[in-house]
Structure 1
Amino acid sequence: MTSAAELVRQAHAILLDFDGPVCSIFAGLPAPVVAARLKQALVKEGAELPEDVEALDDPLKVLRRTADIAPELVDKVETALMGNEVEAATSAEITPGVRDFLEACAEAGKPVAIVSNNSAPAIETFLALADLGEWVTAVSGRPIGAPEQMKPHPQSVLWACKALGVEPNRAVLIGDSDFDMQAARHAGTRSIAYAKAPGKADRLTQAGADAVTGSIAELIEQQ
């Protein structure tokens, strides 16, 4: 397997998932709290929640399932989720090494795009507060009102490549989920699994990762 640093060196452009590789967006406003707010909003609108939805503690999963159980409420849940994400972005914790990595990408002439299932306003809020905006050329956030087009659908990856002016096979996506690896494969980009938790590297490799890293900082050396 090619090393993660070597994939970064070979790439003409860098695609970064947001929650994980760039920051922990729900560090200050926990994801289960946001998920509970969304479920409360659904109930308030008269939706009956199946047991599997009641048990969800991931707000993005609540949004996905809303499209199945109450498609007429997708826009309301989307709006509520976006507001909560923007709130969460104000207390998000930056990922160690990401600032230096973004600066190194700029110095190497590699444009960077954020490719995320989180909303663009939340991403842009964090980038502004963390003073990272100058290092990011494009933000490809969640397709608003179309949860079925979130990763692993390749649309956001392909849009980011177009915005950066590179062919997908010249880019590498760094992400921390199965969906990231699958979206990269569907779009035709290489992928690096950002895996810190035990066993996660194996899982993401099985999902299609071309390389694995446990640290964003270690990717700087081979720019």
Structure 2
Amino acid sequence: MTTAADLARQADAVLLDFDGPVCRVFAGLSASVVAARLKELLTREGVQLPQDVEALDDPLKVLRRTADFAPELVDTVETALMANEVEAATCAEITPGVREFLEACAEAGKPVAIVSNNSEPAIETFLALADLGEWVTAVSGRPIGEPNQMKPDPGSTLRACKALGVEPARAVLIGDSDFDMQAAHNAGTRSIAYATEPAKAERLTQAGADAVTSSMAELAAHPQ
């Protein structure tokens, strides 16, 4: 059985989801608060929110659904979400072990890209504040104004591979969501599920993960 350590060692390049493997983006400014802000914005614009949207506490899902019921407001919601993400990035919590993992990848000569449904300004803000930027070669964030192109669409993953100069089959994507596993499959990359709970590990395995890890520190010992 191929382990997460095996996949990390075999890959020529590493693709990291942002929220989860790198940090908890909404640790200081909660996702539910940001989602509420976006829903309030839509309401102020005169939109009657669908019942399922009223119940959402994930701002990315609010953005994704806005394209369905109020496409003329996608740019407005996108701008607001990006500002909130940047704010959240200033108080995000770094994931234990990711610094050591990035250092180990650098020592092994493996380039790293961030592949995320979060916005690039938010990602770059956190990388700068956490002093991680030197170990990240490329950032492939959410396609602005095109929520339908977020993961599981393979576009951001393929852009990251191109930026790193690696064939998708020679890269591994480490993520913590079903969309990450599906995006990896759609792009033709291998995938490692980052899951700290058994139930999540099982769910991501069912979503197509090639291997599972519960610790970025665990992977830091095996990037060569």
Correspondence 1:112-151 to 2 at 5 A: 112-151=112-151
| 1:177 partner amino acid | S
Q: Distance in 1 between matches of 2:179 and 2:207?
A: 8
Q: Distance in 2 between matches of 1:87 and 1:77?
A: 15
| 1:217 partner amino acid | A
| SS of residue paired to 1:96 | coil
Q: Distance in 2 between matches of 1:98 and 1:172?
A: 15
Q: Distance in 2 between matches of 1:198 and 1:40?
A: 36
What does residue 15 of structure 2 align with? Answer: 15
| SS of residue paired to 2:198 | coil
Asked whether the 8 Å contact 2:101–2:221 carries over to 1, the reply is no
Q: How far is 1:222 from its partner? A: 1.8
Q: How far is 1:198 from its partner? A: 3.2
Correspondence 1:128-207 to 2 at 5 A: 128-207=128-207
Please list every run of 5 or more consecutive structure 1 residues that lacks an aligned counterpart in the other structure.
none
What does residue 4 of structure 1 align with? Answer: 4
Q: How far is 1:87 from its partner? A: 0.1
What does residue 95 of structure 1 align with? Answer: 95
Q: Distance in 2 between matches of 1:48 and 1:198?
A: 39
Size of the alignment, in residue pairs?
223
Q: Distance in 2 between matches of 1:53 and 1:198?
A: 29
Please list every run of 5 or more consecutive structure 2 residues that lacks an aligned counterpart in the other structure.
none
Listed one character per residue, the Cα deviations across residues 2-30 of structure 1 (whole Å, up to 9, x for unaligned) are 10001000000000000000000000000
Q: Distance in 2 between matches of 1:108 and 1:138?
A: 17
Correspondence 1:9-88 to 2 at 5 A: 9-88=9-88
Using the aligned pairs only, state the percent identity. 82
Q: How far is 1:197 from its partner? A: 2.2
Q: Distance in 2 between matches of 1:98 and 1:189?
A: 21
Q: Distance in 1 between matches of 2:95 and 2:55?
A: 29
Q: Distance in 2 between matches of 1:150 and 1:197?
A: 25
Q: Distance in 1 between matches of 2:24 and 2:187?
A: 25
CA RMSD of aligned residues (A): 0.5
Q: Distance in 2 between matches of 1:167 and 1:39?
A: 40
Q: Could you list the runs of 4 or more consecutive aligned residues of structure 1 that deviate by over 2 angstroms after TM superposition? A: none
Correspondence 1:103-114 to 2 at 5 A: 103-114=103-114
Listed one character per residue, the Cα deviations across residues 128-164 of structure 1 (whole Å, up to 9, x for unaligned) are 0000000000000000000000000000000000000
| SS of residue paired to 1:29 | coil
Q: Distance in 1 between matches of 2:184 and 2:76?
A: 29
Q: How far is 1:220 from its partner? A: 1.7
| 2:26 partner amino acid | F
Q: Distance in 2 between matches of 1:197 and 1:7?
A: 20
| 1:65 partner amino acid | R
Listed one character per residue, the Cα deviations across residues 11-66 of structure 1 (whole Å, up to 9, x for unaligned) are 00000000000000000000000000000000111111011000000000000000
Listed one character per residue, the Cα deviations across residues 160-194 of structure 1 (whole Å, up to 9, x for unaligned) are 00000000000000000000000000000000000
Q: Distance in 1 between matches of 2:197 and 2:100?
A: 22
